[in-house]
Amino acid sequence: MLLFLLGSLVLLLAIMIFRTVQLSAREPDVEPSTPLPVNLDEATQRLSRAIQFKTVSQQDASMIDGDEFHKMHRFLAKAFPLVHEKLSRETVNHYSLLYRWEGKNPDLKPIMLTCHLDVVPVEPGTEADWDHPPFAGAITDEHIYGRGTMDVQSGVMAILEATEALLQQGYEPERTVYLGFGHDEEIDGEFGASEIGKLLQERGIEMEFLLDEGLPVVEELIEGIKSPVALVAVAEKGYLSLELSLTAEGGHSSVPQGTTSIARLGKALHRLENTPLPAKFDAHLTATFEAIGTGMPFYLRFVMANLWLFKGLLRRFLATIPATNAAIRTTTATTIFESGVKENLIPTLARAVVNFRIHPNDSVESVIAHVKKAIGDDAIKVEKLFGHIEPSPVSSITNTPYRQLSRAIREIFPEVAVAPSLMVGATDARHYTGISRNIYRFFPLRAEQSDLDRVHGTNERLSIQNYGEMIQFYARVIRNTTG
C-alpha cells in the first residue's frame, strides 16, 4: 500500500512537472514583422500638433469647446491626405468621426479600430509641475510630452498613420475597415461612441472584430515575471451605485431615543464592506495566469501550470492586493455618507452611496440581492442611482480574431507574453456590443508601474520609439485581419 501511494505521488509529480515544461512552450514562436515604411520624425511632429488641440472633456458636456474639435478635424484632413481621399468620413453628433475603408470582398464582415479624440483636463494648480506645458506637444530626444500622449491621442494618430502608410503602399483590404473616434469617452461616451454604435447598428452592420483602447504592455506586472505582458481585456466591469438610506427617531441630543440613524446605517455599511462578493477564478482568469506563467521562474511556472491544485491558494493571495483583488471580484466602496445638520440635533435621516464595479460573473440584480442580505436590515432602503451599467459580454480567446490580434502583438513586441484580462474601468467599447461579439481592449503602450500614474496625471508622456511601435502594430492588425 505504501509503495502504491509513493508511486502515485511520483507519477503525480511527474505529470505536474510535464505540465510545467509544456507551459513554457505553449506560445508558438512568431517572427518579427517587416516594418512598414514610416517616417517616424514626421509622424512625431504630427502627433505633437494633435496634442496642441485642447479637446478636453469637462464633466459638464455643455462646456465642450467645439471649435477645438473642429480645428482637429481640419488638421487630420490635411495631415492624412490619402486617408481622406480613399476613405469616406462622416461627422457623428458634431464632434465624433467615423471612417469607412471599403474592402474588396463585400461578403466578409468588417473590422473596426477605435480610440477617442478627447482628453481629461489638467488639474488646476498643477500646470507648473509639468516638465513641459501639457498642451505644447513638446518633443525631447526620447519623448513626446502632453495631455493625450498616453490616453489616447496617440492611438487616434497611430491608427491614421498606419492607414496612410498602407495606402501609400497600395494596400487594399479584403474586408471593409471602420475607424471610429468618439469625442467624449472621458465622460462616458454617451454622445460620441454611443451614437456611432447606434448609427452602425441601425445600418445593420455587424463587425467581425473590434479593437478599442485598453490595457497596455506592462513591465514587471508581478514580481518574478521576467518578460513584459501584453494584457488584452476580453470584457469590462459593469458599474452600479446604490443609495442606502434610513429614517429613524430624531430629536434633541440631550435625550437620545435609542440607536441613531447614523449608527445603524454605519453598522450596516460595516457589515457590507466586510462581506465582499465572492472572488471568481473562472476560465479566463485561469488562461491569464497560464499565459503570464510562461515568463516566470520555474517554481512559479510550476504553480501556474497546475492551477487545478493551487487555484484556491492563488485566489487568496490575489485578494490581498487591491489591484488584483479588483480583477477577481465585484468590488465594494462606500463613497458618500451624509447625515446631520447641527451638533446637538439627532438627525432622522442618514444616507450613504456605495459604488460597485461589477465582475462579468455578477449582475446589477445579483449585487443588489447581495447587499440586502449582507446588511440584514429591512428598514434600510436600497435604491439604484442613475447610470448603472451591466458588465460587458466576455469575448472569446479561442477564436480567429483573438489569435490574429495576439499574433499582431507578438510580431511587434516579440518578447511579450499575451494574456487575456479584465478591464476594471470603462471604455467606449461597451457602446459597441450591439455590433460585434468579438470586442477586445488593448493599447500598444509600453508602461512600467511608475508610468501608470502619468495617465490622467502630471507629465503624461510617450516614448518616440514606442510611438513607432504603435503605428506598426495597428498596421499589422489591419493586415492580419483584412488580408
| Catalytic positions | 118, 185
Distance of alpha carbon 17 from alpha carbon 88, whole angstroms: 55
Q: Which of 173, 184, 181 is nearest to 65 (CA)?
A: 184
CB 388 within 8 A of CB 240: yes
Distance of alpha carbon 239 from alpha carbon 289, whole angstroms: 25
How remote is the C-alpha of 56 from its chain's centroid? 20
Residue 261 corresponds to which amino acid? S
CB 27 within 8 A of CB 410: yes
Residues ≥6 apart with Cβ < 8 Å to 247: 261, 348, 349
Distance of alpha carbon 36 from alpha carbon 45, whole angstroms: 18
CB 242 within 8 A of CB 261: no
Angle between helix 40-51 and helix 153-168 axes, rounded to 10 deg: 140
SS (H, E, C) 302-371: HHHHCHHHHHHHHHHHHCCCHHHHHHHCCEEEEEEEEECCCCCEECCEEEEEEEEEECCCCCHHHHHHHH
Name the one residue in this structure whose C-alpha cell is 455590433: 435
